[in-house]
Structure 1
C-alpha cells in the first residue's frame, strides 16, 4: 500500500502551537519566578545566598564548580578567517574566558546568572574591558525570556533586551517554559531548613547541659524561709566544689548530677541525614562527596563519574553563552556576516598516564602535543632545554624503568 503524503500546513509548522500565558506578564511587566520553593514558602531568591553560609552546601557548590572548571574551553578557528581568529584570541584571552565561566556558574546557586559586558574602544576596535556579575534579584524575565531590570528607585522595569552586545544570561538546568532556570539548592531547601532548626536545638542543649549541674536533696521540717536559706547556702557551697576537692554535707539525703539527656545525641543522626540529602540534591550522589559508613571503592568511583557527567552537561550548556561573547567581538569589529571562531570544550575520555606509558613502550605512536597540554608535561623551550634519557637497545621506557627498579632491589642490604 502506497503511503500518502499528508498536506503540509506551513503556518502550523512554523508557529508555536502552545504559547505561554502572557496576561500576567503583560499586567505585571514581567513573569514571576515559578520556583516552587520561593512560591510556597514566601522566601525571596536571596534565601539561596543564606543557604550558602552552611559549610556543607558551600563545600559541595565549590566542588561542583571546580569540577566544571577543570574542563577548559578553547577557541578554535573553524571557518573563520585567520585575522578574525587572531583578533578573537587576543581580545578574549584564556584568563577572561575563565573569569567569565566562574561568574556564569553563579547560575548553579540561583538558577540563572546575569553578566554585564563592559567594552572599551581602542583606535576603533572594540575590546572586552570587564565582565561583571550582577545580583540575580535585580532582574526578571518576561514570558518570552527577555531580560528586564528592576529599578529600585522608581519600581519600574527597564527593558535590557534592546541593549545589544551588553548582557550574557546563563540558565542552569533549564526547565520547560521557565526562563529563570533551576537552582541546584531548590531540591535541598527542606533538608537545610531541618538541619538549621536541629542545629539551633543542639546549641541550646549544649549550652544548658555541657557542664553537669549538682543537685542536693534533703529532708526537713523547718519553716519555708529556713528551707530557702539552707538551699541557698548549699547551692553556694556546691558551686565552689572543684575537681579533686572534698566536702562534707550534713543531713543531705542524696547528691545527683544533671547531665545531657540521651535524646540530644540523636540529633547527630538528623544532621548526618540532612547532609546526605543535601549531597544528593547538589551533586546527585553521596559517596564521592563524603566519608560514607558503607560503600566500596568501586561505588565511590561510580558516584564520582556521576559528578563528572553533571559537570560535562553544564559545560555543554555554557558553550552557547561563551559563544555569544565571541559573536559580540566579531560583529562589533567585522560585521554580522563574518564567520566566527568556535568555542569548544574537551569533554572526551582520555587514557591514563600509565596506559599512555604502556603504549609508548609498545611503540604505539602518540601525540606530543597531548603530552604537553593534556598531561601537563613541561614542553622544552628549545634543543638546549631538552632532556632525553638514553635507553638501552631494545628496551622501551617502561622496560627500562622496571630494570632500574630491579637494580635498586638488588642493591638493597639483606640485613
Structure 2
C-alpha cells in the first residue's frame, strides 16, 4: 500500500496517499478519452437533436451536452458576454481569510492560506473554477509543490468537464473517465465545484441547459435574417438584351449581372443594358431583430438576473444604476458557494498536509466589504466614548477604511491654540440659598424675579436626587468596563429596573400641579 499521511482522511473517510498527490491524475493524453479534440454539436442543431443531447446527459452520457455548452459560448456573443461578466465579477470580489482563533497556531494556518490565494494567477484559476456556473460543475486538479518539504498548491489546473461523468447511483459524485472505466477522484487532489443555479443534479444545474433552447431559436432567427438581408438587402440588377441576342450573348449578360454583386465591375456589349432597381424593403423585416433582442434579454435574465446593464431599454441609465452587472443576490450566492468549495477542497487539504488535522480551520470569505455609514459610526463613538465605552483605535481605522500609520509618518493633530475661556464676570453670582443648586440658579440667570414654576423646579430637583442616586452610583465604572454598545444598553436597562417609579411619578404630578396653579394666578416673587 502506498505511504499515507498518518491520521489524515478526507471528508469521506478515505486515507491520503502521498505518492498519488505527487502525480497528475488527469493529465491530458494523446490518445484515449482525455484528448483536447473538438466536438461541435451546435452545427446543424435541431430541436430533436437538442432534446436528445439533453436526455443523454441525464443518462450518464454528458459529453455532447458539455461540448454544446462550450460551443454556445463561442457562437453566441451575447451569452459569452453575460456569462463572462458573471464569472469575472465573482472572481474579482475581495477575498479575505479569517483565522480559526487568536492563538499563534491559528494565525499561522491563516497566513498559509493567505499565501496560497495571493499567488499570481489565483484570480484566473478562480475564474476557471466558476466554469461550473455555465456547465453545472467544474473539476480543478491541485498540482502540489513539495520541493522544499512543504505542501503548496503550485497550480490549480482546469480540466475539461467532458472527461468526467457522475456516479450512476447518486448522480452527484464525479468520476474520472480513464481507459474505459470511471475512477474516483484522488482525495486532497481536486477542487470540485457544483454551482447551485437551480436545485437538482449537478449535470442539470448549469445555466447552459436553460439557455440551450434560446440559443437554438436565436440561431434560426439569425440564419433567416441573414438570408433575408442577402436576398433583399441589395438592389435588383436587371440585364436587358435585344430580341436577336444569341444564347452566348445572354450568358455573357447573365455572368456580368451576377459578377456586379461580387466584383462591382463587368463589361457587356453596347447592345445590352444593366438596370439597378432600388431595394425598397417592405413588410415585417424588423421582426428578426426584435426576436433576437427578446431572446438575448431572456438570456440576460437567466445569467445576470436582470437586463438593465446589457440591453438597450427605456430608462436604461436609471435602471442600470440599480444593477452592478450581476444582481446583488446572485453575486452573494456565487461568492458564498465558491468560498465554501475552497474551504472544503483547498483550505483544509493545505492545512492538513502541512500541520496535520485540526479541530477548526481558517475560513476563506469572498464578497464585497460591508458598507459602513462612517458619519453615524463616528457620531456614535464620539458620544459613547465619554460615557466609558472602550473602542480600539485600530478597529476604528479598519471600520472607516484608514490604514495604521507607518512608523515615523507625519500625523494629523488637532490645531494648537489656547483653550477657550469665558470672559470675566463683573457681577459674580450671589451665594447659593438653602435648597438651591448651581443648575437651578443657572436656569434663572438673567431674570429679575423667580415665579412659582421656578421655585417648584428648585424643589423638584432637590427631591429627585435621593431617588436617582442609587441608579447612577458607580455607573461610570460599569460603563467603562463594558465591551460593546449592547452591553451598555443592557446595563442601563438593569439599572432603571430598580428605579422607584411610583415616587418619581408622584413628584412629577405634584410639580405639575404647582406649576399649573402658578400659571393661573401669575405668582411671582
In the superposition, the TM-score normalised over structure 1's length comes to 0.67
Distance 1:392 1:57 in 2: 62
- Which residue of the other structure, out of 149, 170, 181, is the alignment partner of 2:176? 149
Q: Does residue 1:48 correspond to 2:63, yes or no? A: no
Determine if contact 2:347/2:362 at 8 Å carries over to the other structure: yes
Q: After superposition, give the CA deviation of every residue in 1:352-398 in whole Å (9 maximum; x if it has no partner).
A: xxx64x558968669322444xxxx78764444x57599899xxxxx
Distance 1:73 1:190, change over 3 A: same
Partner of 2:192: 169
Distance 1:178 1:302 in 2: 33
Partner of 1:24: none
> Secondary structure, in 3 states, of the residue corresponding to 1:343?
strand
Q: Does residue 1:316 correspond to 2:331, yes or no? A: no
1:228: how far off? 7.1
Q: Does residue 1:195 correspond to 2:218, yes or no? A: yes
Which ranges in structure 2 are unaligned for 5 or more consecutive residues?
1-49, 58-63, 383-394, 418-525
- Which residue of the other structure, out of 111, 134, 137, is the alignment partner of 1:112? 137
Partner of 1:213: 236
Partner of 1:276: 297
Equivalent positions of 1:10-409 (< 5 A) are 38-40=53-55, 43-53=64-74, 54-79=76-101, 81-90=103-112, 92-93=114-115, 94-96=117-119, 98-142=123-167, 143-144=169-170, 145-151=172-178, 154-160=179-185, 163-173=186-196, 175-180=198-203, 182-216=205-239, 220=243, 226=246, 229=249, 232-233=252-253, 236=256, 255=275, 257=277, 259=279, 261-262=281-282, 263-292=284-313, 294-295=314-315, 297-304=317-324, 307-324=327-344, 325-347=346-368, 349-351=370-372, 356=374, 358=375, 367-372=396-401, 381-384=406-409, 386=410, 388=412
Distance 1:390 1:226, change over 3 A: farther
> Secondary structure, in 3 states, of the residue corresponding to 2:66?
coil
Distance 2:89 2:138 in 1: 19
Distance 2:123 2:151 in 1: 20
Distance 2:124 2:259 in 1: 60
Distance 2:236 2:101 in 1: 79
Determine if contact 1:121/1:127 at 8 Å carries over to the other structure: yes
Q: After superposition, give the CA deviation of every residue in 1:83-133 in whole Å (9 maximum; x if it has no partner).
A: 343244235423345344222211012110101111122554322222111
Bigger relative contact order, structure 1 or 2 (CA pairs below 8 A, ≥6 apart): 1
Q: After superposition, give the CA deviation of every residue in 1:6-62 in whole Å (9 maximum; x if it has no partner).
A: xxxxxxxxxxxxxxxxxxxxxxxxxxxxx9784248842111111112211111012
Distance 1:98 1:341 in 2: 19
Distance 2:197 2:364 in 1: 21
> Secondary structure, in 3 states, of the residue corresponding to 1:185?
helix
- Structure (1 or 2) with the larger CA radius of gyration: 2
1:76: how far off? 1.1
Distance 1:81 1:125, change over 3 A: farther
Distance 1:80 1:125 in 2: 24
Distance 2:65 2:218 in 1: 20
Q: Which moved more, 1:320-329 or 1:141-150?
A: 141-150
Q: After superposition, give the CA deviation of every residue in 1:298-348 in whole Å (9 maximum; x if it has no partner).
A: 543445497121010111112221112111122222222443112223456
Determine if contact 1:80/1:340 at 8 Å carries over to the other structure: no
Determine if contact 1:172/1:182 at 8 Å carries over to the other structure: yes
Determine if contact 1:80/1:338 at 8 Å carries over to the other structure: no
Determine if contact 1:37/1:186 at 8 Å carries over to the other structure: no
Determine if contact 1:198/1:267 at 8 Å carries over to the other structure: yes
The alignment of Structure 1 onto Structure 2 pairs a total of residues equal to: 338
Q: After superposition, give the CA deviation of every residue in 1:135-163 in whole Å (9 maximum; x if it has no partner).
A: 11111121333221112xx3211222xx2
> Secondary structure, in 3 states, of the residue corresponding to 1:173?
coil
Which ranges in structure 1 are unaligned for 5 or more consecutive residues?
1-34, 394-415
